[in-house]
Structures are given as structure tokens and as C-alpha cells.
Amino acid sequence: MTRPATPYDPAQDGAQMEFDGRMSYGDYLALDKVLSAQNPISNAHDEMLFIIQHQTSELWMKLAIHELLAAKAKIAESDPSPAFKMLTRVARIFEQLNSAWQVLRTMTPSEYEEFRDQLGQSSGFQSYQYRAIEYLAGNKNAAMLRPHAHLPQVHGWLEGLLKDTSLYDEALRLLAREGFAIDASVLERDLSLPHQENQSVRAAWIEIYRDPRRHWPLYELAEKLVDFEDYFRRWRFNHVTTVERVIGFKRGTGGTSGVAYLRRMLDVVLFPELWSIRADL
């Protein structure tokens, strides 16, 4: 008769098993705080899904902001190479965020209606981290500060991002420092407004794309920006289709027109010249 195998004891291989006064996995990640932050206010089974979906999205956005700020700083220092890895990471973050919509789509309209009224006026439209990403990417709109007026510290942070250079602004300033003839109207514009497509910027990117070996760092920077916007657009599109699937054309809980508002956002282009020159090439 075969004797049962002795259960494996990780301590025999040197694993630390006692954590009295030692840093543990849960301590390092503050899991007591993270895992106690899910507090449904209804009895609906799917509210837990809804909360976790949005909380994890906010965590990924926090990392995206961390990377975008660092990438912008490197480009401003005329050292774009480290920014390539950072921008690649941001694109992959949005790939992760895109995948998350697939989980939320398992919730049906009737399941959402079980707790929707409990949300009050709260809405993803009010995410200040998402607004920060938009400002960093160049989609500047001062009107979008108003939902955060009740949070002075957050409002001040966002206002600073609104009035500061965007990621694309720094890329265009880098082009000018590298000898490309970028119009003064681009370099000295009101930073609180979105960048408008400009012929001098188009001409610079066309020259770079037509001779990538000569301008390799700028060529690679351009492609990293396109990659980021590509995944960002997909995230917006998946947001629209998920909302339409779950609530149809109802108004959003925050008072927006819901799907109609989100569809309007699909028309926003962050780096217009990098897309329009493709026809010229």
C-alpha cells in the first residue's frame, strides 16, 4: 500500500514563514487598505464587479500618469530614448484597461439596474486621474476642471497640468531644438488650449519619416506616440460600446448624455500631424 506523500514545507527550502516584526507581502502592498476599499452599498451581486473594475482602472491610470510625467521630462531634457520604454509601458497599460472592459461586459442591463440608483451622481466622467491623462496627452479643456472644484488640492494639480506643456508640446519643442523649422505660433501658444494641426509640424514629421535612419530617435519617438494614441483610442471605443451594451442611450449618472458624449470623444485626435502625414507618405 502506497503511503501518502509528506506535505511540502517551504521552510525546508529556506522560505521565511514567520513575520513577527518582518516585512510581509501584505505589509509591503498595504493589502489591508486595498482589500478593505470595496464597500458595496446595495445587495446587488454585480456591484462588487463594478467597484473592482473602476478601482483597478484607477490604479492602472496612476501608473500611466507616473510614466507620462517621466517621459515628458526626458523629452524636455532632449533625452528621448528613456521615454520610449515609458511610452511603450503606457500603451500596454491601456491594452490592459481595454481587456478589463471584457469583464464588465459580463454584466447585463438588468443586473446594473439593481444598483445603478445607488450611485447617485457619481460617474467615471469625474475621474481626476483620467482628466490628468487627457491633459498630459494634450486634450486641454478648462471646463473639465469644474467637477473637481470641491477638492482644492486635486483642482490645483489639474490646473497646473492644464497650463503646462503636454507630452506632444515637449515633442514639438524637441523638434525645434533639433533644427526643424517649427512655427513660433506652435511653440509660444496658450498651453491651456489644445494643439491645432500645423503645416510646419507636418513638414518636420514628413522629413523624419522619409529618412528614418538619419532621424532615428525622433522617428522612434513619433511611433511611440502613435502607439500610445492607438491604444488610447481603442480604450475610448471600448468604453462607448460597453456603456451602450449595459445602459443603451440613457443619460449617464453624472448627467452627461452617456453614449452620445462618449462618441464625441472618439473624434478627438491627440497628435494630428502624426496621423495626417500618413497619406502624404
Which distant-in-sequence residues (6+ apart) come within 8 Å of 89 by Cβ?
Answer: 63, 67
- Residue 51 counted as an annotated binding residue: yes
- Alpha-carbon distance values, 272 to 109, 115, 191, 213 (Å): 36, 40, 16, 23
Instruction: Check if the beta carbon of residue 171 is closer than 8 Å to that of residue 226.
Output: no
- Residue 208 counted as an annotated binding residue: no
- Residue 116 counted as an annotated binding residue: yes
Q: Which of 247, 25, 6 is nearest to 119 (CA)?
A: 247
The alpha carbon of residue 210 and the mean position of all alpha carbons in its chain are separated, in whole angstroms, by 31
DSSP state of 22: S
- Residue 52 counted as an annotated binding residue: yes
Helix 216-247, helix 272-280: angle, nearest 10 = 110
- Residue 108 counted as an annotated binding residue: no
- Residue 253 counted as an annotated binding residue: yes
- Residue 241 counted as an annotated binding residue: no
Q: How many Cα atoms are found within 13 Å in the side-chain-facing hemisphere of 102?
A: 6
Helix 216-247, helix 128-137: angle, nearest 10 = 140
Tracing cell 518636420 back to the chain, one arrives at 204
Distance CA 125, CA 256 (A): 8
Give the helix/strand (H/E) hosting 265.
helix 259-265
Q: Which of 111, 108, 121 is nearest to 44 (CA)?
A: 111
Please state the residue numbers annotated as binding site for heme.
Answer: 239
Please state the residue numbers annotated as binding site.
Answer: 50-54, 112, 116, 239, 253
Please state the residue numbers annotated as binding site for substrate.
Answer: 50-54, 112, 116, 253
